Structure 1
Amino acid sequence: MVMTQEMMDVIAGSRAYVATATTDGVPNVVPIGNIKPLDNKTVIIADSYMIKTRKNLEANPKVAFVVEDAAKYPFQFKGTVKIYTSGEYYDEVVNWVKEASPLAPAPKAAVVIDIEEIYSVKVGDAGKKLD
């Protein structure tokens, strides 16, 4: 699935609410401030404070998220993650977080989401898969 420029701009400028689940289906949702698109098919998150979310993603790499202002930008993104604790993606989030918040601790990992599906959450179109 390919994100539009509008979708990428919204993700880059917003907080997101990221949903994960255990392998038993127990849900977890967290606000994420350090999130941005890498390209029109991929999003990266800095894992600075994840505990349950990280544990869930290691056991079940499926994820969904919406941006904070879903009423204005009514998109739900779903995908599969890969977690990096070293290498290019990790270095990118370390530099990105350090630049944005010099006193913040270094992220524990980079979480890269391959976007597989995008849905509308707009009134009247909620649940409609976008092409």
Structure 2
Amino acid sequence: MMNAEMMEIIEKERAYVATSTPEGVPNVVPIGFIKPLDEKTVIIADSYMVKSRANLESNPKIAFVVQDAARYPYQFKGSVKIFTEGKYFDEVVSWVKDTNPLAPSPKAAIVITIEEIYSVKVGDAGKKLA
């Protein structure tokens, strides 16, 4: 589903993640700790999420773009599972500590199954890519 370029930019760029309440009230936040696990799965370290986490607990749908959407014009959509223990949680705790020992320890691992990818490129915006 995701190609090599998409996976590389997700790991290198800050992402802007959108969630919503079941009633449709949106929330968008910047995320620094985000990376692909494979061509269909992305993981986020949840160290600060409050509204986004509450939204995902009641509505597991998520969308995100990378910071430099002009150069990397992709929108990713999917569904999440939240882990507060186990393999995925241990992975994000180690990842954050290895990257920045002063960063707060994550509260959860947010695992995204990518379901759709769209272009946000001028002229192609809204075109489904995968």
What TM-score do the two structures reach when normalised by structure 1? 0.98
Q: Please tell me the residue identity of whatever aligns with 2:48.
A: Y
Helix, strand or coil: the match of 1:128?
Answer: coil
State the match for 2:31 in structure 1: 32
Paired residues in the alignment total 130
Q: Please tell me the residue identity of whatever aligns with 1:81.
A: V
Shift of 1:120: 0.2
Q: How does 1:41-60 map to 2 (within 5 A)?
A: 41-60=40-59
Helix, strand or coil: the match of 2:114?
Answer: strand
Shift of 1:45: 0.1
Separation in 1 of the partners of 2:37 and 2:129? 20
Shift of 1:102: 0.2
State the match for 1:103 in structure 2: 102
Structure 1 segments of 4+ aligned residues over 3 angstroms from their partners: none
Shift of 1:105: 1.4
Q: Please tell me the residue identity of whatever aligns with 2:30.
A: P
CA deviation map 1:83-110 (0-9, x unaligned): 0000000000000000011011110000
Q: Please tell me the residue identity of whatever aligns with 1:83.
A: I
Helix, strand or coil: the match of 2:95?
Answer: helix
Separation in 2 of the partners of 1:17 and 1:47? 14
Q: How does 1:3-14 map to 2 (within 5 A)?
A: 3-14=2-13
Separation in 2 of the partners of 1:100 and 1:14? 15
CA deviation map 1:42-73 (0-9, x unaligned): 00000000000000000000000000000000
Q: Please tell me the residue identity of whatever aligns with 1:65.
A: F
Separation in 2 of the partners of 1:59 and 1:117? 21
Separation in 1 of the partners of 2:129 and 2:13? 21
Separation in 1 of the partners of 2:72 and 2:22? 30
Separation in 1 of the partners of 2:71 and 2:102? 32
State the match for 2:67 in structure 1: 68
Helix, strand or coil: the match of 1:37?
Answer: strand
Separation in 2 of the partners of 1:29 and 1:128? 22
Identity score, percent: 74
